[in-house]
Structure 1
């Protein structure tokens, strides 16, 4: 796992966490919706922020695979490797 990417992604996710979820609860295995309680509107915002931060474009098939923090990191790494 790329720690730099993980830390950037975590920084992107933090503002969208609901009040009942602590920052410490974010781990690579965290499910964005089921565990971190990110709603679908905020998930879209996170995706847009990821695209801006990493200079990548996420396609619909990428979004369909996006369930956990690890999934996001894998997709980011794949996109950056292809760039």
Structure 2
């Protein structure tokens, strides 16, 4: 049985940039030395919460997971099980 491919060969397919709207491509100008220069300058104000306000990451981990390890004053990790 002869199988004819149903895909379009890449030589016939248009460039991938033709699928991207011009409004997305527009902020960047491609120069001859291949550097990307943005055509807009925008001030970004961070929306994240400062780290000193966030609780410690260990508060998100259940105690049953933290339990097998005891932290000593000289910062050695000693397992409490054998």
Q: TM-score with structure 2 length normalisation? A: 0.18
Q: TM-score with structure 1 length normalisation? A: 0.18
Q: Which has the higher strand share?
A: 2
Higher relative contact order (CA 8 A, sep 6+): 1
